[in-house]
Amino acid sequence: MSNKAKQSKNQVKKGGNQKAQKTSRVVKRGKYKHVRKIKTGIRFRRPNTMKLAKNPEYPRKAQSRLPRLDHYSILKFPHNTESTMKQIEDHNTLVFIVDIRANKYQISDAVKKMYNVTPIKVNSLIRPDGNKKAFVRLSKNDDAMEIADKIGF
């Protein structure tokens, strides 16, 4: 073999070796490079940074507030008139004056908890004097007359 043939063979090997090294680099790093994008706008958009959850050493308020409306403050007193007695007898319905801020669900829960009955339906209205009146219809299993006697109608 001549000297020139040996040199050309070595060059092919080196060239092949360089190509293999280049492909191994591409495989390790990845084929695509991150190219910086040129910003041409005038507005700076602040990047979203990581927000850690708050973990205070002590609470900001020393004592947590009690709920404004509990079962005893929702039901003020039973409404006792002739028309309410008729409601009790005919429609199995109790009538209460309740807190103005209480909604139907709260009224229903309060009656359920205080008198151990199951209300079917609650109708409420705000009277001209500013009080809220609630008509609590009881299930057929519960007798409104008995509960009214217990309450003291």
Range of the domain at 138: 71-151
Backbone angles phi, psi at 138, to 5 degrees: -100, 160
Residue 27, domain member (yes or no): no
What domain count does the chain have?
1
Residue 12, domain member (yes or no): no
Residue 34, domain member (yes or no): no
pLDDT computed for residue 96 by the predictor: 97
pLDDT (tens digit, 0 to 9) for every residue of the chain, 153 residues total?
566 555 555 555 555 788 888 888 888 877 777 788 888 889 988 899 999 999 999 888 888 888 888 999 999 999 999 999 999 999 999 999 999 999 999 999 999 999 999 999 999 999 999 999 999 999 999 999 999 999 887
Quick one: three-class SS letters along the chain?
CCHHHHHHHHHHHHHHHHHHHHHHHHHHHCCCCCCCCCCCCCCCCCCCCCCCCCCCCCCCCCCCCCCCCCHHHHEEEECCCHHHHHHHHHHCEEEEEECCCCCHHHHHHHHHHHHCCCEEEEEEEECCCCCEEEEEEECCCCCHHHHHHHHCC
Residue 123, domain member (yes or no): yes
pLDDT computed for residue 85 by the predictor: 95
CATH code for the domain in which residue 75 is found: 3.30.70.330
Residue 127, domain member (yes or no): yes
Backbone angles phi, psi at 22, to 5 degrees: -65, -45
Residue 21, domain member (yes or no): no
Residue 98, domain member (yes or no): yes
Per-residue burial over 8-20, b if 16 or more Cβ lie within 10 Å, else e, is eeeeeeeeeeeee
